[in-house]
Structure 1
């Protein structure tokens, strides 16, 4: 195995002309300024292509990169010739690039943290994936697995290399199985997809990362747009196959401008690194005895829980945690459900996965977030993040605040019940600590989909119910006017829920409620979360699952009902 240093570039190569025309907006750009902005147009934001050397120089710590397996070279196994023989095309590409093939592999650091990088060069036969390109990506994955350090794959590819026939096609399987091994071992894989990323790349290594990042405007897809037009005889929608289009379709976690890539990559590496120290928790204000919890009229509680000023999941993500990186999409192309917010975060020295329902503080945001009522693909996204927590051994923290799952025609067509049921089933077997907090409305199965936890907590002015009071009143009392009466009888208050064993503790709110002092509320939630996570930290995975099983298996059992009756005497 050969190694050689990769020089970090401080200036990007180009023509001697002082001016150039932007391929995005057509404006004339001063070359020196354009190069200083990392070849991003300072008028329209168009991201021009970078060479592999430029890309690595932009991302990696100075002097940290060490190239490996640079001597692998492709062989013409088929005697292929189009307008030129394949060996001639290879020789020309090798002369232009200075590399034997379209992939450059390095070990390096970003922010002082190690990673392995496999970067594709579109300038080498369109970044096409042949036998050597596939082998290099596979070797990079094997090195990441052996050293248990993250793998970054930077894609710029037209797809599989036709000049190598079925040998090229088999590289999709080769690289796919290597990423599967990384997933099973809990080794982070990150995709950075740049313009363009197509064909065999997207059908294998370019979309299998734990985190998928794309540059603005990057064209990403399986079949090229011209092939699609010719096949279906239809005009394609605006921005079709752009990074932004894919983000809206739920297939990309984030679209990041080039200038922020290095900082965000460093954040991801830091949050997946072994913790250096975990802070001792402060004394928890959690109320766990029914006598500590004040009673409130259920109808008044419902109004407080629905107050538009109450902190949302996004607010808690920003104020409770030291850092938060949102991960978007369900990866199935259904969409990016704005009623669910989730990602990875750090608190008290621990990295956790956070998932929560998201409402809003004004009518526009409420409408955009569907009033916190998820579609099936929102729950699929939640389950994807639950899997993320399990794979990396991160505790899971969920925030529950929803009137319920969205009751629409499309939701039913897409399997709303199944999506909720799969979340409930999956949460029950998670081998990590799970803490759920009802922060506002806990509406039916749409809430429970995020609530199968080792510790279920509720804020002082929140409620948890099998159905909304209005729904109960309509069904049982024949109209919604008896919602207050229904709320009382449903036993939805924190005091009642604690007595019934549905929740394990009540989180006190500041005077005037959470909306009166959201900062104080966030501080309290932070203390409670760190305290409960510290309590669960010593539990083995099997014990966590067994504990969760016993908790929910016991609710409503004959023994549970007997205990409640005895306590009521």
Structure 2
């Protein structure tokens, strides 16, 4: 079990400074909207024990020097549950973020809706969802830090609805709290680590590292340009002449020692933070996504790692591209895949819909998208992440309607004609530029500096 801090201890551990906002008028007296016998006494005991009048503390803060609106749950106050007056404070925090055009940071620790207020408590989730939608429409980012526990409606709104979701190790996280789960449910599924594996959390961060990580995220999420300029094209990391034949291009792109996405990202960025998971139960280890800093500018990235991209990868990519678009941050995509995963599991996971969503995210982006093909460009699985008017290629890459072996099979050609087919497909980097599919063949930096 993760260490349980009070609301104010969590604030003090994270922030450089915090100014509490006044509580909205009308804090509950008496036994509440249902007339629940003893509710007033329960609230009074919770207040005496915690020093708080409600389960949420809200105000303005700075983290790593970056301003934000911050709210923190007090689990000691009736299990951090959400009631009507909790909803008042949560809505006030969102409205403050809208008015100040600041990101909202939520330190969540809640058991869910407050039983003593019944449906009135449950409808606070709708209030939070509306406030969150208004903030999203206004532009500022939402970042959640999931503490122990984060369950019920608090997880399904403030937590899972955030743009960036961090969790502390060992925290209990799940829609179902420990007292309402099915008998025999796997407890690992309800942990920070389990939610990370399932694609519902971006990172598990040790408490001592949270100030630095949250501060870096706030810096990245508020660094968009107006209007944003395109991300520079990365330099090619392998200095090679253009391939002579189509098959030569294929062999180069498939070479085991060719530079991969990780090397390109390390060369391109001064610092970067990852985003992980499709929020639908899946992750794709063959796709790297996140935000990075290059020469003081924020750039979002989506990078294929040379494997067949899975549906979860395309959904994660679409999520990151849409977030960058909302924040005014340019996007860099690195294309390197033999194609989309086409096994039965991928089909059951919605491969077609996921690829369509990635195409749509790129097509609808108002921020500029820059693409560099760094290896294999296999069919629609690669094209889904390629900018229609700003795609570039490296000398050790190719882009094709389909792999030449499969093209030969579709055309009912003998395997001995695969090389001939590769030439006919005109998939070499220089062919792609001549055809207008790519704008340039990227070269190495002439001064020998990083990409």
TM-score by length of 2: 0.93
| Conserved 8 A contact 1:473-1:481 | no
Residues 234, 264 of structure 2: 8 Å contact kept: no
Write out aligned runs for 1:67-82 (5 A). 67-70=20-23, 73-75=27-29, 76-81=32-37
1:23 match: none
Aligned to 1:399, what secondary structure does the other structure show? strand
Aligned to 2:376: 441
1:154 to 103, 107, 111: 107
Distance change (3 Å), C-alpha of 1:59 and 1:474: same
2:198 corresponding residue in structure 1: 249
Q: How far apart, in 2, do the equivalents of 1:240 and 1:194 lie?
A: 16
Partner SS for 2:293? strand
TM-superposed deviation, 1:427: 1.2
Is the alpha carbon distance of 1:269 and 1:416 closer, same or farther for their aligned partners in structure 2, counting shifts above 3 Å? same
Hey, what's the Cα distance between the residues in 2 that align with 1:77 and 1:500? 69
CA displacement, residues 85-130 of structure 1 (integer Å, 9 cap, x when unaligned): 0011000000111110110112111121111111001111100000
Unaligned runs of 5+ in 2: none
Cα displacement (A) at 1:285: 10
The 3-state SS of whatever aligns with 1:504 is coil
**Aligned match of 1:316:** 264
Cα separation, 2, equivalents of 1:172 and 1:431: 31
Q: Is the 8 A contact 1:437 1:456 kept in 2?
A: yes
Secondary structure at 2:323's aligned position in 1?
A: helix
Of 264-273 and 120-129, the range deviating more from structure 2: 264-273
Provide the alpha-carbon RMSD of the alignment: 2.5
Q: How far does the alpha carbon of each residue in 1:518-546 deviate from its partner, in whole angstroms, 9 at most, with x for none? A: x96x82xx3xxxxxxxxxxxxxxxxxxxx
Aligned to 1:91: 44
Alpha carbons 2:233, 2:371 under 8 Å: kept: no
Cα shift at 1:503 = 0.5
Equivalent residue number for residue 134 of structure 2: 181
- Preserved CA contact (<8 Å) 2:167 2:204: yes
Q: Determine helix, strand or coil for the equivalent of 2:358.
A: helix
3-state SS of the aligned residue for 2:160? coil
Q: 1:113 aligns with which of 28, 52, 66?
A: 66
Report deviation, 1:405: 0.4
Quick one: which of 315, 319, 326 aligns to 1:391? 326
Structure with larger RCO (C-alpha < 8 A, sep 6+): 2
Displacement of 1:339 = 1.7
Q: Quickly say closer, same or farther: Cα 1:236–1:445, change in 2 above 3 A.
A: same
Aligned partner of 1:541 in structure 2 is none
Q: Select the residue among 58, 69, 91 that pairs with 2:13.
A: 58
TM-score, normalising length from structure 1?
0.74
Question: Partners in 1 of 2:138 and 2:389 — Cα distance?
Answer: 25
Contact kept in structure 1, 2:8 and 2:72, CA below 8 Å: no
Instruction: Output aligned runs, 1:11-22, within 5 Å.
Output: none
Residue 360 of structure 2, aligned match among 410, 421, 425: 425
1:378 equivalent in structure 2: 313
SS in 2 for 1:115: strand
| TM-superposed deviation, 1:223 | 1.6
Q: CA deviation at 1:475?
A: 2.4
| Cα offset, 1:353, TM superposition | 1.1
2:164 maps to 1:216:
no
Give how far 1:349 is off: 2.5
Is the alpha carbon distance of 1:388 and 1:71 closer, same or farther for their aligned partners in structure 2, counting shifts above 3 Å? closer
1:143–1:389 Cα change, 3 Å: same
Alignment of 1:71-470 (within 5 A): 73-75=27-29, 76-81=32-37, 85-230=38-183, 235-237=184-186, 239-274=188-223, 294-333=242-281, 335-359=282-306, 372-470=307-405
Cα shift at 1:284: 8.5
Matched residues, number: 443
Identify if the C-alpha distance between structure 1 residues 355 and 269 changes in structure 2 by more than 3 Å, giving closer, same or farther.
same
In structure 2, the residue corresponding to 1:227 is in which secondary structure? coil
State the distance in 1 between where 2:87 and 2:344 align. Answer: 44
Structure 1 residues 310 and 145: CA distance shift in structure 2, 3 A: same
SS in 2 for 1:505: coil
Task: Rate the CA distance shift 1:481–1:509 in 2: closer, same or farther, 3 A.
Answer: farther
Whole-Å separation in 2 of the counterparts to 1:117 and 1:458: 43
For residue 145 of structure 2, give the secondary structure of its aligned residue in structure 1: strand
Contact 1:286–1:506, Cα closer than 8 Å, also in 2: no
User: Who is 1:560 aligned against?
Assistant: none
CA contact (8 A) 2:224 2:329 kept: no
In the alignment, the residues of structure 1 paired with residue 366 and residue 15 of structure 2 have an alpha-carbon distance, to the nearest angstrom, of 34
1:312 to partner: Cα distance: 2.0
Deviation track 1:451-486 (CA, whole Å, cap 9, x = no partner) reads 134311000111000111111122224443322111
| Distance 1:209-1:495 versus aligned 2 partners, 3 A rule | same
Contact 1:111 1:266 in 2 (8 A): yes
> What SS does structure 1 have at the residue aligned with 2:441?
strand
- Measure the CA separation in 2 of the matches of 1:226 and 1:160: 14
Name the CA shift for 1:294/1:409 in 2 (closer, same or farther; >3 Å).
closer
- Gap change, CA 1:284 and 1:89, over 3 Å in 2: closer
Partner of 1:475: 410
